[in-house]
Amino acid sequence: MDYATLLQLLDSTVRLATPLLLACLAGLFSERAGVFDIGLEGKMLIAAMTSGAVAAISGSVWIGLAAGIGASLVWALMHGIASITFRGNQLISGVALNFLASGITVLVAQAAFGQGGRTPPLSGDARFGAITLPFAEALREVPVIGPLYFEVISGHPLLVYVAALAVPVTWWVLFRTRFGLRLRAVGENPAAVDTAGISVVRLRFAAVLIAGVLCGIAGAYMATALQAGFGREMTAGRGYIALAALIFAKWKPWAALYATLLFGFFQALALRPDVVTRVTTLDIPVPALEALPYVLTVLVLAGFVGRAIPPRAGGEPYVKER
């Protein structure tokens, strides 16, 4: 495989890893606070449809993004009310919200645009364009590093950089701030937080809503940056892949970046069967390649990556004991 092809592959890895990373960090906030979130998928999907539709109508990608985040927040709020306020089962709430998103996106898109459940194709200001980072052009001729910077690092939509920046920010918030300390504590032992005089409910809601914002950005990225519009089931299980990556990353922000890049790389491979065939000299069928990220997901979830210890209070509604 030549260098240029490798760079192309890495370039699409970055693009494909971005929604996974955002969703993975969303899950990280939620689960670190002790609320399992199987509904990442649904939140991304509703955000993708809403942002695609609003961007198409308003012609502004920013309004689309805001609408996408808003829609995802509504889903997050429903999850919070069901599983925190009413102490319902977090998995059931998440699955229900996924079904709801799956149905309602197609329904609304079809009713509004009548294009078979799709939103109209976006162009111009209704879509995030590529950003060329400083010196990308100038450094392009520098051997090895120049093309790497130009092809892989530079030239992505803004939200890719937002996602990349979200990693150190997440780390900093979790491990260097009071909010982060309390958030991690509430996912490990909510009783400790409660007896310290801090509201468990408020902390968990904050975490769930942060997850909503991040999933909203992920969904909007899908519809307004990665693609030019919403298509039915366009998230294609990315929410679940993000969950697998979260386990793979053992609920740590930097590890989440590496895990999602790995999953993104597999997704990128599936887009380039010609490269795979050339490198391996095997004629691997395309569907097999497309299944790779999902196979990896199953392997991760089946525990082939060693022991991953989830936050101890994960999945359990907090009931005050006397």
Partner 1 sequence: MTQTASPAIELRGISKAFGTVQANKDITITVPKGTIHGIIGENGAGKSTLMSILYGFYRADSGQILIGGRETAIPDSQSAIRAGIGMVFQHFKLVPNFTVLENVILGAEDGALLRPSLSKARKELARLSKEYGLDVNPDAVVEDLSVGHQQRVEILKALYRQAEILILDEPTGVLTPAEADHLFRILRGLREQGKTVILITHKLREIMAITDNVSVMRRGEIVGTVKTAETSPPQLAELMVGRKVLLRVEKTPARPREVVLEAKGLRLTRGGVELLKGVDLTIRRGEILGLAGVAGNGQSELLKVLGGIARAEGTITMNGRPFTDPREAGIAHVPEDRQHLGVIMDFTAWENMAFGYHRHFAKGALMDNKTLRDETAEAMKRFDVRPLLPDLVIKNFSGGNQQKIVVAREIERNPDLLLIGQPTRGVDIGAIEFIHKQIVALRDQGKAILLVSVELDEIMSLSDRIAVMCGGRIVGERDPATTNEKELGLLMAGVNDEAA
Give yes or no for residue 195 binding partner 1 (CB under 8 A): yes
Instruction: Compute how many other C-beta atoms are within 10 angstroms of the C-beta atom of residue 1.
Output: 10
Give yes or no for residue 319 binding partner 1 (CB under 8 A): no
Give yes or no for residue 315 binding partner 1 (CB under 8 A): no
Q: How far apart, in whole angstroms, are the C-alpha atoms of residue 119 and residue 51?
A: 10
Buried residues in 17-40 as b, exposed as e (16+ CB within 10 A)? bbbbbbbbbbbbbbbbbbbbbbbb
Give yes or no for residue 123 binding partner 1 (CB under 8 A): no
Smaller CB distance to partner 1: residue 203 or 223? 203
Give yes or no for residue 66 binding partner 1 (CB under 8 A): no
Angle at 267 between CA 290 and CA 295, to 5 degrees: 55
Q: How far apart, in whole angstroms, are the C-alpha atoms of residue 314 and residue 60?
A: 39
Smaller CB distance to partner 1: residue 111 or 196? 196
Give yes or no for residue 255 binding partner 1 (CB under 8 A): no
Which residue of 125, 188, 233, 290 would you call a contact of partner 1, by CB under 8 A?
188
Give yes or no for residue 185 binding partner 1 (CB under 8 A): yes
Smaller CB distance to partner 1: residue 143 or 320? 320
Q: How far apart, in whole angstroms, are the C-alpha atoms of residue 250 and residue 231?
A: 32
Angle at 295 between CA 10 and CA 118, to 5 degrees: 70
Helices 238-248, 40-58: inter-axial angle, 10-degree rounding? 130
Smaller CB distance to partner 1: residue 278 or 312? 312
Interaction residues for partner 1, span 145-184 (CB under 8 A): 175-182, 184
Q: How far apart, in whole angstroms, are the C-alpha atoms of residue 257 and residue 154?
A: 18
For partner 1, how many residues bind (rule: CB under 8 A)?
Answer: 23
CB 260 to partner 1: min, Å: 24
CB 252 to partner 1: min, Å: 13
- Would you tell me which residues interact with partner 1 (CB under 8 A)? 175-182, 184-185, 188-189, 191-198, 312, 320, 322
